[in-house]
Amino acid sequence: MVLGVVGEKLGMTQVFDSDGLVIPVTIIKVDPLTVTQVKTENKDGYNAVQLAAMVCKKKKLTRAELKHFENNGISAHKQLKEFRVQDSNEYKIGQKIDLSIFNDVEKVDVTGKSIGKGFAGCIKRHNAHRGPMTHGSKSHRITGSIGAGTTPSRVYKGHAMPGHLGNEKVTVRKLKVVKIDTENNLIMIKGSVPGHEGSHVVIKPSINHWKDRSR
């Protein structure tokens, strides 16, 4: 139950640490977010803060979305994201949220949509073993047996089969924050950040994320 941000994945680069070691990092651009709604436990049943990200043209939004922004005196934004917090009374509509909330954060959780790989077989999709490549074998990359014919005489639900791979919501936890550039609204993270270049990701502090362990 912590506040996070929404950013755009720009790509990868490398930075040098104090020991001269090369660290591969993913650069994520996080423009200042605007608080569009504050939910309280007394009124809504839980404490949460709704943030608007990425300014866009009005013609790209529905009438309901436009009315929501107009009622709060906020310009049109492309995305709305809600974060549950311990105390929502600390925030006000129209307040700006930037990368300064990560100044004391060491590790973060990143959520995004993974890169779509299309239709894939069991070897690529589930890391299955392939068949023998010699001695006259004709079963190299096929699925193989999916169950006995007599018992249970059916295929169990959830069995590893060929199908669509990727293009699904993925969360990678405890990625290290290497550098924060508040002047250019950039955060550099070491680790596997889901999604392709230009995709949108949600960044939240991990549990036990503080640099100061005494907290």
What confidence tens digit (pLDDT) does each residue in 83-130 have?
Answer: 999 989 899 999 999 999 998 899 999 999 999 999 999 999 999 999
Q: Are residues 102 and 198 located together in one domain of the fold?
A: yes
> Is residue 200 in a domain?
yes
Q: Which pLDDT score, from 0 to 100, does residue 18 have?
A: 87
> Is residue 212 in a domain?
no
Q: Are residues 128 and 112 located together in one domain of the fold?
A: no
Q: Are residues 48 and 136 located together in one domain of the fold?
A: no
User: Structural domain tally of the chain?
Assistant: 2
Q: Which pLDDT score, from 0 to 100, does residue 211 have?
A: 57
Tokens coding 195: 């999604």
Region 139-163 average pLDDT = 92
Q: Are residues 149 and 161 located together in one domain of the fold?
A: yes
Q: Which pLDDT score, from 0 to 100, does residue 26 have?
A: 97
Q: Which pLDDT score, from 0 to 100, does residue 97 have?
A: 93
Confidence of residue 208 (pLDDT cuts 50, 70, 90): low
Q: Are residues 107 and 136 located together in one domain of the fold?
A: no
Q: Are residues 155 and 180 located together in one domain of the fold?
A: no
Q: Are residues 79 and 26 located together in one domain of the fold?
A: yes
- 91-to-48, 83, 103, 185 alpha-carbon distances in Å: 10, 12, 18, 21
Q: Are residues 141 and 159 located together in one domain of the fold?
A: yes
Task: Confirm if 28 and 186 have CB atoms less than 8 A apart.
Answer: yes
pTM score of the predicted model: 0.84
> Is residue 131 in a domain?
yes
The parent domain of residue 131 ranges over 117-165
Q: Which pLDDT score, from 0 to 100, does residue 96 have?
A: 93
